[in-house]
Structure 1
Amino acid sequence: MPDKREQLASRIGFLLISAGCAIGLGNVWRFPFITGKYGGAAFVTVYLMFLLLLGLPILIMEYSIGRGGRLNIAGSMRNLEPDGSKWHRLGYFAMMGNFLLAMFYTTVAGWGLAYVYFSLSGRFNGMGPEEVGTFFSSFLGNTEALVFWMTLAVLLGFWVCSLGLQKGVEKASKSLMAGLFVILLALIVRAVTLPGAAEGITFYLLPDFSRLSWEAVNAAMGQAFFTLSIGAGGMAIFGSYIGKERRLTGESINVVALDTTIALLTGLVIFPAAFAFGIAADSGPGLIFVTLPNIFNQMTGGQIWGTFFFVFLSFAAMTTLIAVFENIMAFTMDERGWGRKKAALINATGIFILSLPCTLGFTLLKWIQPLGNGTGIIDLEDFVFSNLILPIGALSFVLFCTYRFGWGWDNFIEEVDEGKGIKFPLWIKPYLNFVLPVIILVIMIKGWLEIL
């Protein structure tokens, strides 16, 4: 175990970096979209229940492995595993998820950066709904533009990581998260004061459980699992950067609360605005890049509000990307002994190359449709990450922390309860031993069946 380990400067830095890792396009785009699709407030209620049952326990386990092992997820599992066991191989498998996530997240983060520029320069001014849709399609067909914006996302993210844990990652995350909250609150004030916004607020905040279906329950369970990106060891690395002054249950609750707050507040932007202008609340993946520019076009001062929104979107995407890059950086520094500058340069080059297939999958490699007609490389990478790496990683963390053939329950409880704060509930052990692994397997099998 290393004698020295970089440490975060403050508790608030840890909370904001962790929340930034969890807060991403899943909160800003996917959560509002599926909330609209599955009935609004009733779906949100079920989602919150599953977030406590699924997301929170596994998040606590990731943090405890990282803090207990003081390395990346693979190195930590190697430090904590019983002699002769090979649990760390599952840690390497989880690390593959970070590389895979970076391979397609850089592309979508680049779209957000591009739309900041497009909004700021007034590219959408005067466009009708069909023109905005055509603009997005033409943007996705422009190889040079897609590669440029993806490259910018890679360079920005690794530049921040190269500055150091405290001066780069922690400082940037604090600034981005503060900016994200301020812009989000301004957008909410504008959205809820639009004429006709009340109907959207009612749809979003007043549950109508008659609209719930089994499909909606399944979607809520999946969103609760995927929203925190648990299973890829992304949170474990930040556990390795903190001291033992605070118990991990309370810290995890704070991170989940921040992540959920952003997702819920984003809905207060999208649904009042959508209802105010007669736009379908479940308008699908085009909600962010087609529907919302149309809404902003109809607002007074729409160019300003549109720019604010896409800055907010980019902040959310970049906080996640910086966290993923830091995990990759820490892995190579721990395992290869590289310095931070060297790790940033080599990993930036590698991630750029690995990201090209996804980016080019919209143009030069559009003929590759791995999951059927109309799909692309991004769909394959997203599917493998979400339906293979995350559930297998999460399952391995649960078994590692709760069974004697892994790290074991007693060691886990000793680590998670060290410090001040809320204690981990011991009565939950049977649920973690027998029920949670089954739920994770159900989520994984369900994802594969949907594709098949």
Structure 2
Amino acid sequence: MEKREKFSSRLGFILISAGCAVGLGNVWRFPYITGKYGGAAFVLIYLVFLVILGLPIMVMEFSVGRASQKSAARSFHVLEPKGSKWHFMAILAIAGNYLLMMFYTTVGGWMLAYVIKMIRGEFTGLTPDEVGGVFNGMLGQPGSMTFWMIVTVIIGFLVCSLGLQKGVERVTKFMMASLFVILIILCIRSVTLPGAAEGVRFYLIPDFHKITEYGLFEVVFAAMGQAFFTLSLGIGAMAIFGSYIAKEHTLTGESIRICTLDTIVALLAGLIIFPACFAFQVNPGEGPGLVFVTLPNIFNQMAGGRIFGTLFFIFMSFAALSTIIAVFENILSFSIDLFGWTRKKAVAVNFVAILLLSLPCVFGFNIWSAIAPLGAGSTIQDLEDFIVSNNLLPLGSLGYLLFCTSRYGWGWKSFIKEADSGKGVKFPQWSRIYVSFILPAIVLFIFIMGYVQKFVK
């Protein structure tokens, strides 16, 4: 057995965990949902749910990782009471990490492809419809999509193959630092555009009329969903980093720092997108359309747009790669924990596995576009995303909650002892009833509502 590596610094742990949490949801989902549900008013509700929903589950996931010194593949085996069946949770976690990478690698590839397209000036002089055509054209080419997906997978495993400190930690620190610098440059550019003030106002001044327009329930549910999904909790993606950190600091304090970084990135992304959309009278849409069609159109109209566009897609590539590297590290530790493989062997086997598993998503947009698993117009990617986001994340989170609070699991006392080891903010003892009964009910509610929204029109 190889000796378990540790992070060389606390900053490394915080930045890597934040890198795992900072993903594309922060950039292409958060601004759109914020805009739809009334700007700043929605942000306030979202922040409340981040603290009462996301934070406790993150602390639990880190605690299970740190106490067991294993990845999610073995952590339940180590901590569960004899004769209990909690270790079946490992299957959920392993499936979740592989499934997430089956479509995330493709999206990471899109980002890298767009960095090159921006540098080469492929969008210069195109009409808005033609800019949309570039994205649809890319989706129609299995060859080029496969190429960029492979590049993404190579980068991810190359970093992980260098080890935890020399690879994952060093590269993620650089990417996260660059990500913040680029974000701030783009924010300054966006808020100083002529006509941007309207967008800033919309984003930062609460409009409670929007909440009455959509209904409080819908707005609250949207905020809950975003707070829940933004941190990628429930599939052990965070637990692994818990297992790499020393016991010098409490896990609640560290989790607060990670949630704060994650939120800052999401908020700054909105400060890039809304002022720019308002300045050029463009409607900020959601999802790939926002990033690959709306924003390139805006960069086209902006002075120095090619430079800012290139910076934006480098930022997006770093956001995607920081998550991919974190999850690859998790997948490698599964192989090391389960089969006792060396890191080299784990990299070689998983490299091939991830390449093959990523192909259905790539082909789902072209060769296999006839397959519409969730009804007309849906793709294989939609199905993969639905399984992870609407099933494995909530069910996995529910598992961690019950495992850490139930006397049939690891139990409250063991959890608190681990979470509170070290200096810093302690996990609130008074919240025991809340995290044992109310929070699981909320997570279950999110899970059921995910199905209601998807299939009950």
TM-score, scaled relative to structure 2: 0.97
Q: Give CA deviations for 1:185-212 in whole Å, capped at 9, x if unaligned.
A: 0001100000000000000000111211
Counterpart for residue 295 of structure 1: 298
Q: Secondary structure, in 3 states, of the residue corresponding to 2:74?
A: helix
Counterpart for residue 223 of structure 1: 226
Contact 1:58 1:398 in 2 (8 A): yes
Contact 2:372 2:380 in 1 (8 A): yes
Counterpart for residue 404 of structure 2: 401
Deviation at 1:328, TM superposition (A): 0.2
Deviation at 1:450, TM superposition (A): 1.6
The separation in 1 between residues aligned to 2:191 and 2:101, in whole angstroms, is 35
Contact 2:66 2:244 in 1 (8 A): yes
Give the stretch that moved more between structures: 85-94 or 64-73. Answer: 85-94
Counterpart for residue 6 of structure 1: 5
Deviation at 1:281, TM superposition (A): 2.6
Counterpart for residue 344 of structure 1: 347
The code of the aligned residue for 2:229 comes to: F
Deviation at 1:284, TM superposition (A): 5.2
Contact 1:74 1:89 in 2 (8 A): no
Contact 1:36 1:282 in 2 (8 A): no
The separation in 2 between residues aligned to 1:23 and 1:163, in whole angstroms, is 22
Contact 1:99 1:328 in 2 (8 A): yes
The separation in 2 between residues aligned to 1:417 and 1:283, in whole angstroms, is 40
Q: Secondary structure, in 3 states, of the residue corresponding to 1:32?
A: helix
Counterpart for residue 155 of structure 1: 154
Deviation at 1:240, TM superposition (A): 0.2
Deviation at 1:282, TM superposition (A): 3.6
The separation in 2 between residues aligned to 1:45 and 1:200, in whole angstroms, is 17
The separation in 2 between residues aligned to 1:63 and 1:293, in whole angstroms, is 39
The separation in 1 between residues aligned to 2:4 and 2:422, in whole angstroms, is 19
Q: Secondary structure, in 3 states, of the residue corresponding to 2:386?
A: helix
The separation in 2 between residues aligned to 1:288 and 1:37, in whole angstroms, is 17
Counterpart for residue 180 of structure 1: 179
Give the stretch that moved more between structures: 253-262 or 71-80. Answer: 71-80
Q: 2:384 aligns with which of 381, 384, 399?
A: 381
Deviation at 1:409, TM superposition (A): 0.2
Contact 1:37 1:281 in 2 (8 A): no
The separation in 2 between residues aligned to 1:83 and 1:3, in whole angstroms, is 26
- Ranges in structure 2 where 5+ consecutive residues have no aligned partner: none
Deviation at 1:283, TM superposition (A): 5.3
Does residue 441 of structure 1 match 2:450?
A: no
- Give every structure 1 segment of 4 or more consecutive aligned residues whose post-TM-superposition deviation is greater than 6 Å: none
Deviation at 1:4, TM superposition (A): 3.2
Deviation at 1:93, TM superposition (A): 1.3
Q: Give CA deviations for 1:41-90 in whole Å, capped at 9, x if unaligned.
A: 11111111110110000000000000000001131111000001111111
The separation in 1 between residues aligned to 2:287 and 2:348, in whole angstroms, is 37
Q: Give CA deviations for 1:319-344 in whole Å, capped at 9, x if unaligned.
A: 00000100000110111111111111
Q: Secondary structure, in 3 states, of the residue corresponding to 2:427?
A: coil
Deviation at 1:352, TM superposition (A): 0.5
Contact 2:394 2:444 in 1 (8 A): yes
The separation in 2 between residues aligned to 1:216 and 1:379, in whole angstroms, is 23
Q: Give CA deviations for 1:328-365 in whole Å, capped at 9, x if unaligned.
A: 00110111111111111110110000000011000001
Q: 1:422 aligns with which of 414, 422, 425?
A: 425
Contact 2:73 2:337 in 1 (8 A): no
The code of the aligned residue for 1:294 comes to: N
Contact 2:17 2:258 in 1 (8 A): yes
Q: Give CA deviations for 1:93-139 in whole Å, capped at 9, x if unaligned.
A: 12210000000000111000000010011100111101101111111
The separation in 2 between residues aligned to 1:85 and 1:422, in whole angstroms, is 32
Pairing 1:10-25 to 2, within 5 Å after superposition: 10-25=9-24
The separation in 1 between residues aligned to 2:69 and 2:76, in whole angstroms, is 10
Q: Give CA deviations for 1:224-273 in whole Å, capped at 9, x if unaligned.
A: 00000000100000000011010100000000000000000111100000
Give the stretch that moved more between structures: 278-287 or 57-66. Answer: 278-287
Pairing 1:204-215 to 2, within 5 Å after superposition: 204-212=203-211, 213=215, 214-215=217-218
- Ranges in structure 1 where 5+ consecutive residues have no aligned partner: none
Contact 2:2 2:342 in 1 (8 A): no
Pairing 1:25-424 to 2, within 5 Å after superposition: 25-212=24-211, 213=215, 214-282=217-285, 285-424=288-427
Contact 1:246 1:421 in 2 (8 A): yes
The separation in 2 between residues aligned to 1:47 and 1:256, in whole angstroms, is 12
Deviation at 1:285, TM superposition (A): 3.8
Deviation at 1:3, TM superposition (A): 8.8
The separation in 2 between residues aligned to 1:308 and 1:218, in whole angstroms, is 34
Q: Secondary structure, in 3 states, of the residue corresponding to 1:73?
A: coil
The separation in 1 between residues aligned to 2:288 and 2:35, in whole angstroms, is 12
The separation in 2 between residues aligned to 1:182 and 1:308, in whole angstroms, is 10
The code of the aligned residue for 1:446 comes to: M
The separation in 2 between residues aligned to 1:160 and 1:59, in whole angstroms, is 25
Distance change >3 Å, CA 283–CA 23, structure 1 → 2: closer
The separation in 1 between residues aligned to 2:425 and 2:398, in whole angstroms, is 24
State, as a whole percentage, how many aligned pairs show the same letter: 60
Q: Give CA deviations for 1:155-209 in whole Å, capped at 9, x if unaligned.
A: 1001100010000000010000011011110001100000000000000000111
Distance change >3 Å, CA 362–CA 282, structure 1 → 2: closer
Contact 1:37 1:282 in 2 (8 A): no
Deviation at 1:40, TM superposition (A): 1.0
The separation in 1 between residues aligned to 2:397 and 2:86, in whole angstroms, is 13
Contact 1:42 1:209 in 2 (8 A): yes
The code of the aligned residue for 1:368 comes to: I
The separation in 2 between residues aligned to 1:391 and 1:107, in whole angstroms, is 24
Q: Give CA deviations for 1:267-292 in whole Å, capped at 9, x if unaligned.
A: 11000000000011345540000000
